[in-house]
Amino acid sequence: MVTSATYKHEPIFRGKARLEVLQKSLLSTLVRDGFEALAWAVFPNHYHVVVSDSKGERSISRTIQSVHKFTARQVNDLDQTSGRQVWHNYFDKQLTFEKSFMVRLHYVHYNPVRHGLVSDAAKYPFCSAFWFEREAPKSYVETVRSFKDDSIAEMDEYVVEPDCWM
């Protein structure tokens, strides 16, 4: 699982167009580098993504650096702020226990609800909830939903304004 935040948690990716750039870049770069995104949620000031590396031998760091470099350049060009620091850092956590994995899948898929952006995560276009509910077997969706995510130690405390994605 990877979580990353913008510098000083500024909502640099505010609005649909910028969120689309971030989401597209994140997902396409993961695929390009051989990772599979299992859950994601993208916001103006941070994102979460749960990935799988079927070979189990790749480091995610180059992939994340590539996403950050590309998206920083894109958003700085839009704002005409060449050289502005966009990303602060990221942290990743290898999920080795099934319960931990399931809790984080639930957490990431339904994070837009936690932030108060929507009452149904599937209606937030910058997360995986709609895709997950459509593609995964119903019993698996229900299983993931049954895991409580309030025990995650690294819960995000990012403030996301309700209209940030419109």
Going across the sheet that includes 36-42, the strands are: 36-42, 46-52, 2-6, 87-92
Query: For the whole model, what pTM was predicted?
Result: 0.91
- The two most distant CA atoms of the chain are separated, in Å, by 48
Q: What is the pLDDT of residue 103?
A: 92
pLDDT at 109: 94
Q: What is the pLDDT of residue 49?
A: 97
- At residue 89, the pLDDT reads 84
Residue 153's pLDDT is 52
Find all residues with CB under 8 Å of 78, minimum gap 6, and list them: 18
According to DSSP, the residues that pair with 6 across neighbouring strands are: 87
Q: Divide the 166 residues of the chain into consecutive groups of 10 and give the mean pLDDT of each group.
A: 94 95 97 94 96 78 95 95 92 87 92 93 96 95 87 70 82
Is-contact 160 115, C-beta < 8 A? yes
Residue ranges of domains in the chain, CATH in brackets: 2-146 (3.30.70.1290)
pLDDT at residue number 111: 92
* Tokens linked to 101: 């994995």
- The values of phi and psi at residue 105, to 5°, are -60, -50
